[in-house]
Structure formats: structure tokens, C-alpha cells
Homo-oligomer: A and B are copies of this chain.
Amino acid sequence: MDVHVTIEDNQARFLRCIGEATRLRILKLLAGGERCVGEIVEFLDKEQSSVSHHLRALKDCNIVVVRQEAQKIYYALADPGLAELVLKIEDIMKEVPLCHNLAGDCE
């Protein structure tokens, strides 16, 4: 099979993991400190199951770390650099407009 994983494959996987609206919102939330699943679900107003799947995806990419306390499970950013990265992205996107060609409005 010779599945040769390149540096770009890994970086791309990482970016795709971050590149999902719900997961991006989770990252922004966690930038403010760790949260348990219940809090994240409430914040997102989405199905608990869906959130759980997203959290797993983030965990599989080592973007978040997990801590258990009694029945509750807390998620936190694995690295403070991730919060900076999100800021950097927002920064760049001010100069690289993307509304173009998108369905719907962008105010």
C-alpha cells in the first residue's frame, strides 16, 4: 500500500480539523479557558452527540486535551499557540475578503 504521509498531509489534516465552523467556535470558546462538555453544548446550541463527535475530532488531532472530574469531562486547548493562530487567521482574513462567491449574505 505504501501510504506515504507527507508534512503537508499532516498540516492539511490539522487545518481541516480547525476548518469547520462548529469546531472553530469551540476553539474560540476554549481560548477563554477549559470547559466541560455540557457548557460547550449549551454554548453551541447543538446536539450533544454532534458536539461530542467534534470534540473527538479535535482530540484526535491533539488540538485539545481532556481532564475528568467526577462525571464531568473538561476540554482545553492543547497549546496556547492555538489561540494565537486563530487570531492570526482573523487578522489575515481582514485583508483577504471571502464573502465573494458565497451563498448568503455576509455582514
Contacts and interface: CB of A to CB of B under 8 A. Distances in A.
Q: How many copies does the complex hold?
A: 2
A25 B7 CA distance: 10
Closest 4 CB pairs of A and B: A15-B19, A3-B104, A16-B19, A8-B21
Contacts of A62: 96-98, 100
Interface in A36-58: none
Interface of A: 3-6, 8-25, 28, 60-63, 78-79, 81-82, 84-85, 88-93, 95-106
Given A10-B106, A12-B21, A82-B92, 8 more contacts: A5-B99, A5-B106, A11-B19, A12-B19, A12-B20, A16-B20, A62-B98, A79-B95
B63 A96 contact: yes
**Best-surrounded residue of A84, A98, A100 (most CB of chain B within 10 A):** A98
